[in-house]
Structure 1
Amino acid sequence: MTNQGEIMAEKRAASWRWSKTGETQRRLLDAARDVFAESGYLDANIADIVERAGSSTGSLYHHFGGKAELYTALWDRHDSAHLEQVRAAVAAARRAGTSDPLELFCVGARAFLDGSWQRRDVAAVFLDNDGPPGFERRRREDRLEWIRQNSALLGPADTSRNRIMLDVVTDVIVESSREVVLHCRTRKQATAVADFMCELLRKLSV
């Protein structure tokens, strides 16, 4: 019969294996971010990615399946970080007493731009349409989901006016993020872009 000490040893071993797996994935994703940013998706070389990660081609295929899946996983990590940052900012604003839907929307939009500034190295990877086959469809689907989430604060897309408004305000955030990633060199500049973005959002949502 397995004693308590053996059980604890097995749990520690499993935890170590999981930790090691997570660290390997992180290094591969970080390396992929750098190589994709330098070369673009099409010209990125798996050999360069695994060399920079200090890993192996076999490990890359084991964890991600290939270059296309690695690119998508990088997008998922980036998108999830944005989502968590926005949710946390809106939740904090609610706790602080903000209840106006438009102001909460602006809080979330600012958090999105802050994430774009903090992670501008990886955000730059996705600015151009240089991705694996099918990725643009994934981005369109994510954008539709984003619009659906925006409607929770700004109102349902049940009229032509509301549908157009939701499309436009979403595009304002996307283009503001592009400005931050491509052209802002300081946080002060990024903050100025966020201020202008919120000014536009308030005008468009009247």
Structure 2
Amino acid sequence: MGLSEEYAGQDGSLRRTLLDASLEVFAERGYTDAGLTEIAARCGIPVGSLFQHYGGKRGLYLALWEEFREEQERRTAATLTAERNRGVEDPVALFVAGARAYLEGAWDNRRLGRLLVEDDGPAGFDALRRQWDRAWVRRNARLLEIDERRRAGRVRVSVLTTVIGGTARELGDCGDETEAREIVDEVCGILIHLSAPPG
């Protein structure tokens, strides 16, 4: 291994350590009350190193959000690919499979998910979250083959996406995996009924 590869590995390891420590501190204290000094101390590094990698508390929070978002998108895309490879073509079946994957990811990453739905985030985060939510609605509309340019179609996809988002928040408060699975199964059944084309 060359020197640059070794440095990159150490750098990646430090970044992972910083993100893990920031998640712990944000989860314990909330974003507003979280201190960079405490995050750096949990990592055993000077605060300056934290700034060098993430530029401060906002950068750490946004990196956690980006990581959660990317993992959820990867998980959902992999599920949809697997379903299509099995020959599934029905838009509702694909949508519900994707929703299930998303909700299972929300359960698996519930600590981070719970943090990201709180109202205690950095300035401007709500606008970023709304922008991502709009993109999520558009992806769901394409998956369900619904014309979101029509108000009725847009509203239907928005309602379905809101159901998934609300359920993801509820999963953060589940007591155990059995309860989480029951909720996911129940909501997927509801989504099947709500997704059916009108008429």
Bigger Cα Rg: 1
Q: Is the 8 A contact 1:28 1:55 kept in 2?
A: no
Q: List gaps (5 residues or longer) in structure 1.
A: 1-10
Q: What is the CA–CA distance in structure 2 between the aligned matches of 1:55 and 1:125, rounded to whole Å?
A: 24
Aligned with 1:171 (options 148, 162, 170): 162
Q: What is the CA–CA distance in structure 2 between the aligned matches of 1:137 and 1:19, rounded to whole Å?
A: 34
The root-mean-square deviation of aligned C-alpha atoms, in Å, is: 1.1
Give 1:180 shift.
0.8
- 1:94 is matched with 84
- 2:75 is matched with 85
- 2:12 is matched with 22
Secondary structure at 1:157 match in 2: coil
**Runs of 4 or more consecutive aligned structure 1 residues displaced over 6 Å after TM superposition:** none
Q: Percent identity?
A: 36
Aligned with 2:185 (options 188, 191, 195): 195
CA deviations 1:154-205 (Å, max 9, x no partner) are 12202111011011000000111111111x2222211111111112112212
Give 1:73 shift.
0.7
Q: What is the CA–CA distance in structure 1 between the aligned matches of 2:91 and 2:44, rounded to whole Å?
A: 47
Q: Is the 8 A contact 1:120 1:181 kept in 2?
A: yes
Q: Is the 8 A contact 1:89 1:107 kept in 2?
A: yes
- 2:32 is matched with 42
TM-score normalised over the length of structure 2: 0.95
- 1:3 is matched with none
